[in-house]
Structure 1
Amino acid sequence: MSDTTRDYLLKFWSLIDDILNAILFLLIGLEVVTIHLEPGSIAIGVLAIPLLLVARALSVLGPLAAMRPLLDLGRLAPPILIWGGLRGGISVALALSLPFTEERSLLLTATYFVVLFAVIVQGGTIARVIEHRKQRAAA
């Protein structure tokens, strides 16, 4: 395959990826309108965020510790992998695919809270986290 063909192929699949993401987020936006925000579901959504961060830390720190004798990724790897574990379209798509039960609405609300936190807070601060960790590592 020539370099030009490879370039066109990568651009094509990138365009397909962008189109499918746009369709997914359009469907997500349409589904958000149907969510009923109740105090209980809001509380569960807010509590899901730290729970998810703890689960992410455990799932990152364990394998990193096990791999350390073979491959040391440095001191920046854990915080970047934990904070940079952004969630989004796939999480919501999986929640949307659940059968219509009374738990579905609660799980969907919690998923939306986690995804909003990931996109807005984590996505908006990952560069600062990396810079802060670089400065601490250099000191």
Structure 2
Amino acid sequence: MRGRNVSAIRTTLPRLVVVAVVYWLAARASLSLALVHGQVTPIWPPTGIALVAVLIFGRSMALGIFVGALAVNLPIGPTPISAVLIAAGNTLAPVAAAELLNRIGFRRELDRLRDAAAIIVLAALVAMTLSATVGASVLV
């Protein structure tokens, strides 16, 4: 049992680091397009990166997403608490999106129209309202 745990850590830890770093890099690039005080952007590719990470590697990637989101938001957030809340919203939304997609039998190959529609409706519209609501509430 112990050997299995060590193996899981050796596999998961590098993935978490990669997810956090790639999330942070994409977020920093996106913030260059910021519309409001370096915080509000018209596009946010890190969410797509986070969703793909959760779909491929599972919910364990939530920690990497949270760390990446927190690293982005701490320097720009009005307060550390707001940065934590925004990072939590940025983490919860892709995890919820992946859960919704998995529940309907989503196939990552996107070889069916229903899978493309599910990404638009469930992931982009439904699940991302979590992140948008948290972010807007904190920044108001």
If the TM-score is normalised by the length of the shorter chain, which range does it land in?
A: 0.3 to 0.5
Bigger radius of gyration: 1
Higher relative contact order (CA 8 A, sep 6+): 1
